[in-house]
Amino acid sequence: MFFEFGIKDFIDILLVAFLLYYTYKLMKASGSINIFTGILVFILIWLVVSQVLEMRLLGSIFDKLVSVGVLALIVLFQDEIRRFLLTLGSHQRASGLVRFLTGNKKESLEHDDIMPIVMACISMSKQRVGALIVMEHNLPLDEVLQSGEVINADVNQRLLENIFFKNSPLHDGAVVIGKGRIRAAGCILPVSHNLDIPKELGLRHRAAMGISQQSDAHAIIVSEETGAISVAYRGQFYLRLSAEELESLLTKDE
């Protein structure tokens, strides 16, 4: 019997390799790399038992475990799956196509809206005022918005500084900016449990990382301790940014 290997098989293998690599990257970002290794080992044992050794009893037990396991994995990794689909959907070309088909305009901040945010961060950094600002893009952050107080005001440097001023009742939590407006303050973000985050970065940074892993938002952090300005975006930190770096990161059209 000849083993035929065509272009379709090549694409098949390439897609599986891509899927595995992407799953690995997502799991690494969310700190669940050991679970990924465990699943791979389990699949390997399952294949050997049922396909190579053809052990029917053990094979059928493993088959049952796999069908239940798929459901368990969906529940366990709902955030990662959501992020994977989001990344696919918010890829520049894909979202461009969706906007073209639905006739929606891109909801991003204009350069004029970004400057007050950059200026506010620079000013707060100099005064060692801690801040956490989330910039909503294509994925709506309704749950996060509901956890805070509605503001619905123009993006304004002095208002941002006022919100994060130490004695302000709304200084705790995050400000969410979206659709060209300061939408809410005092918002609670999901905290990332990624074990790779350096120990010196506390809860403010973990909260920024959390929302960047679950959405396409930029999360800007001004450290109260060091005054450093950092951004979490798509599960990655950009630490100790200058004003120019912050501006270019926020205006970059992904």
Ligand X SMILES: Nc1ncnc2c1ncn2[C@@H]1O[C@H](COP(=O)(O)OP(=O)(O)OP(=O)(O)O)[C@@H](O)[C@H]1O
Q: List residues near ligand X by CB under 6 A.
A: 130, 132, 172-174, 188-189, 191, 201-205, 207, 223-225
As measured in angstroms, the least distance from the Cβ of 77 to ligand X is 21
> 50 or 148: whose CB is closer to ligand X?
148
As measured in angstroms, the least distance from the Cβ of 224 to ligand X is 3
> 49 or 121: whose CB is closer to ligand X?
121
> 180 or 202: whose CB is closer to ligand X?
202
Among 66, 27, 30, smallest CA distance to 195 is for 30
> 83 or 206: whose CB is closer to ligand X?
206
Which value, to the nearest 10 degrees, does the dihedral of the CA atoms of residues 188, 191, 197, 198 take?
50
Residue nearest to ligand X (CB): 202
As measured in angstroms, the least distance from the Cβ of 133 to ligand X is 11
The beta-strand segments (E) located in 76-172 are 131-135, 149-154
DSSP state at residue 167? T
As measured in angstroms, the least distance from the Cβ of 45 to ligand X is 39
As measured in angstroms, the least distance from the Cβ of 31 to ligand X is 16
Contact between 148 and 174 under an 8 Å Cβ cutoff? The reply is: yes
> 119 or 191: whose CB is closer to ligand X?
191
DSSP per-residue codes, 16-72: HHHHHHHHHHHHHHTT-HHHHHHHHHHHHHHHIIIIIS--HHHHHHHHHHHHHHHHH
